[in-house]
A and B are shown apart, each in its own frame.
Chain A
Amino acid sequence: MPQNPFFWWAGLLAALLLAPLLLGVINKTKACFVGRQGPSLLQPYYNLHKLFRRGCIRTTVSCGPLAWAPGIELSALLLAVLFLPYANQLSPFAFAGDAFFFAYLLGLGRFALIIGALDTGSSFEGMGASREVQFSALTEGALFAVIGFLAFASRSLNLSEMLSCPLPSNIPTVIAAVILAAGIAFIIMLVENCRVPFDDPETHLELTMIHEAMILDYSGPDLGFILYSAALKLWLMTALVVLMLLPGDLAPPGVLFILHLLGIFLGGVVIGAIEAVSARFRFLKLPQFLLGALCTALIALALTVIGTGGGLQ
């Protein structure tokens, strides 16, 4: 597999710069589906620009976490971006076990937001935090089942190798398993990024919010940090799905880089399309759905074990 570090660095830069554009693509797709013109593709950038020029208003009853949370969230995400093998090029920061580091960096960001939300003492934010914890506990199981599958299929605990190595694609059960696992990763991505049908990022109804309820008290640059982190997280998780489906030996790095970007924006179009045609699920349905996702991920793992004859070499 030819390696070209230039394209990894280009991929990192693209993640940092283009993450808000992915949100723009999703919103534009939704608007097109329902016959509206919709906001400009660049609207998320305008929003961030607006927020960073503003002052912060913070509640006086906070004992600290409210102010730290956005910084921790953003730092966690900025660390996490270093470990994905963009365009199937190995990350220079990769180490064995970095898949867990990656997963728990996302977890750390979430934890910071939850503590910040509880810090406000608001009933809306408390409800949001409680829901976030409940659903992320279930999502985490599915996420680790997918990581386990990838580790098994690639014989590696290193995220870069897991996602960029050519899988033994001559074994049909493994191909089926990859598609299953990518599907589950897509669902995890929707849940983690509060997309319809699991959550509604556009709602103004506090009582129905999950993620959004936790950030009701933030304003100005604090909110800008959180929104930018959220965009970055969406980009990372979409990239994860794309990398799972994109075999590393398909093309030279330059072409892979283009395919990688196209794949991510295609992911945005798919998310937008789902949001346009589907209503949001009931809360009671989410645990069932997430446990189903966990089971499916375990099936993918089992298929790989059977397909490759079992056992790490």
Chain B
Amino acid sequence: MTATTLTINNATAVPMQEVPSLPVNDFRDTLLELVQQQEHRVSAFFGLPASPAGLGLELVAVLNHPEDGNCKLARTVVKDSFLSLTPECPAFHWFERELAEQYYLEIPGHPWLKPIRFQPPLPGSGGSKTTTTIPNLTVGDTDYFTLEGEACHEVAVGPVHAGVIEPGHFRFQCLGEDVYSLEISLGYQHRGLEKMLLGGPDRRTLHLLATASGDSSIASTTAYAQLCESLDHTLQPEPEALLLRGIAAELERLANHVGDLGALAGDVAFLSTAAFCGRLRGEFLNMTAEICGNRFGRYLVCPGGVNMAFTPAQARKVLTWLQRVMSDVDNALELLFESATVLDRFEGTGTVSTAAARELGLVGPAARACGVNLDLRHTHPYGCYTLSAPAQAADSAGDVLARASVRRQEIAASAAWLREQLAGWQKENRRHRSTPRLAPDMIAVSLVEAWRGEMCHVAITDADGTFRRYKIVDPSFHNWFGLAMSMRGEQISHFPICNKSFNLSYCGHDL
């Protein structure tokens, strides 16, 4: 029997023709078998115009298994329609909706096929031009679930929100104070990132990826750098550079987790932790700025290494700074987690079951809070995490308290790991600057554990060694539906804390 998938390690590249191209039915069966029977996760499922042009659309799936430590690739070519996998396997739900709008692909059998970003189709979209799947491109203008009857009412929130946050539209179907269903409609932040990346890498590429989701700059640029390094063997980052990437990534995690816990406290009107965490988040951002001059770590990571030199003197400075800040963080979080009124609000609110988390393919802290054992730093180690990684957090309740508690554990683990690494920082790293020259006709996969969870970048190069397709799957892409699930049957007044406990990215999703 010929292999149906190709297995590769995280952050490696293989020639595109080595990935077995299956007939459509075998492709569907393989994906269903791997996801349903063998507990694989869908990291990416996307299309690109088949080459040579005119053949149709090539579909590529990247699956991974939490315990195998590698990725499985499969592909097929379809003409203009693909029978939906979603009814059997909900993890494909969002990916198939994305495919339908990016390439005008007909996906019969999909239960709720509508645009996720309201974006114009990508170049080379095949399919029948007369398709009626996506009739218009006004963001948010589409059908929503409706509920009819005397006691029910609809609440629409956004896209313009109170407060300085990103735009997104939320439709609640309510029975009194209880939410029957929540539908989330995004796309307001779409700026055509994947289209702009085609034909790269060029001078804009690093900037585009650093701003794919501004609060995950380090993770995103690390994923990109790993792709380039696997596609260009002259780029071999030194161990210090890899470690500095890890240090920056953990600082990013700390800043965001601390900020999120503060925001959660603010939403239940628990002022002390809210006020403290707001300040403390800034301290972590300033530590990142100490390393690279930018509070969000933009342009620190670059293909081949890092852009900044980090001296042992700076490491000592950041270490003492970290120790001082962490004692404040511990105090603020102790206050939060020991306050009965706060625990009463968090406990049992917005519960997502372990089964739902697995089926939907949730990632990151949201998945770990549901008892799903996922952490790429441990399961698919990359960069400096091959040597040591912060301890993995876990909880099983799946409620707001579990998500908060996972974040608290991760704060402690990352801080402990950072102390160890900073204390051992002996020599200054080299700065690196070069333009990557990528190998032609390859596919490369890079998985990174961003602070929100699994971030997957896939690059496919053409004969000239430029990007024929660059696919970004932000962790938020997997998790938005988890937020919708957490609100089923919940009180509508609990939406803000459910939302903050996930704190998903709009621009990372909308790209």
Interface residues of A (CB under 8 A from B): 30, 33-36, 123-124, 126-127, 196-197, 200, 202-208, 275-285
Q: A126-B153, A279-B345 are in contact. Are A205 and B272 (CB under 8 A)?
A: no
Interface residues of B (CB under 8 A from A): 153-157, 162-163, 177, 265, 267-272, 274-276, 339, 341-342, 344-345, 491-496
Q: A34-B272, A275-B269 are in contact. Are A281 and B341 (CB under 8 A)?
A: yes
Query: Judging by beta carbons under 8 Å apart, are B269 and A207 in contact?
Result: no
Chain A residues, CB < 8 A from B271 = 30, 33-34, 275-276
Query: Judging by beta carbons under 8 Å apart, are A207 and B492 in contact?
Result: yes
Chain A residues, CB < 8 A from B268 = 279-280
Per the bound structure, the CA–CA distance linking A126 and B176 in Å amounts to: 11
Chain A residues, CB < 8 A from B177 = 127, 283
Chain B residues, CB < 8 A from A208 = 267, 493, 496
Per the bound structure, the CA–CA distance linking A126 and B156 in Å amounts to: 12
Chain B interface, DSSP helix/strand/loop, else mixed: helix
Residue of chain B at shortest CB distance from A283: B493
Contact of B339 among A30, A203, A207, A279 (CB under 8 A): A279
Query: Judging by beta carbons under 8 Å apart, are A279 and B270 in contact?
Result: yes
Q: A208-B496, A283-B493 are in contact. Are A276 and B341 (CB under 8 A)?
A: no
Contact of A124 among B155, B275, B342 (CB under 8 A): B155
Interchain residue pairs A-B with the least CB separation, the first 5: A279-B341, A204-B162, A279-B270, A279-B268, A34-B275
Q: A127-B155, A204-B163, A206-B157 are in contact. Are A35 and B491 (CB under 8 A)?
A: no
Per the bound structure, the CA–CA distance linking A277 and B271 in Å amounts to: 7
B273 to chain A, nearest CB (A): 9
Query: Judging by beta carbons under 8 Å apart, are B155 and A282 in contact?
Result: no
Query: Judging by beta carbons under 8 Å apart, are B269 and A205 in contact?
Result: no
Query: Judging by beta carbons under 8 Å apart, are B269 and A36 in contact?
Result: no
Q: Can you list 26 pairs linking A and B with CB atoms under 8 Å apart?
A: A33-B271, A34-B271, A34-B275, A35-B272, A35-B275, A123-B153, A123-B156, A127-B177, A196-B269, A197-B341, A200-B269, A202-B269, A204-B162, A206-B162, A207-B155, A207-B492, A207-B493, A207-B495, A275-B271, A276-B272, A279-B268, A279-B342, A279-B344, A279-B345, A281-B344, A284-B491
Chain B residues, CB < 8 A from A205 = 162, 267, 496
Chain A residues, CB < 8 A from B155 = 123-124, 127, 207
Per the bound structure, the CA–CA distance linking A285 and B270 in Å amounts to: 17
Per the bound structure, the CA–CA distance linking A197 and B270 in Å amounts to: 10
Chain A residues, CB < 8 A from B269 = 196-197, 200, 202-203, 275, 278-280
Per the bound structure, the CA–CA distance linking A284 and B491 in Å amounts to: 9
Chain A residues, CB < 8 A from B345 = 279-282
B133 to chain A, nearest CB (A): 30
Chain A residues, CB < 8 A from B276 = 34-35
Chain A residues, CB < 8 A from B341 = 197, 278-281
Per the bound structure, the CA–CA distance linking A281 and B339 in Å amounts to: 12
A199 to chain B, nearest CB (A): 9
A214 to chain B, nearest CB (A): 15
Residue of chain A at shortest CB distance from B349: A282
Per the bound structure, the CA–CA distance linking A276 and B271 in Å amounts to: 6
Query: Judging by beta carbons under 8 Å apart, are B156 and A36 in contact?
Result: no
Chain A residues, CB < 8 A from B267 = 203, 205, 208
Query: Judging by beta carbons under 8 Å apart, are B342 and A277 in contact?
Result: no
Chain A residues, CB < 8 A from B274 = 34
Residue of chain A at shortest CB distance from B176: A130
Known: A34-B275, A279-B270, A280-B268. 9 other contacts (CB 8 A): A33-B271, A208-B496, A277-B272, A278-B341, A279-B269, A281-B341, A282-B345, A282-B494, A283-B177
Per the bound structure, the CA–CA distance linking A275 and B266 in Å amounts to: 12
Chain B residues, CB < 8 A from A284 = 491
Chain A residues, CB < 8 A from B491 = 282-284
Query: Judging by beta carbons under 8 Å apart, are B493 and A123 in contact?
Result: no
Chain B residues, CB < 8 A from A206 = 157, 162
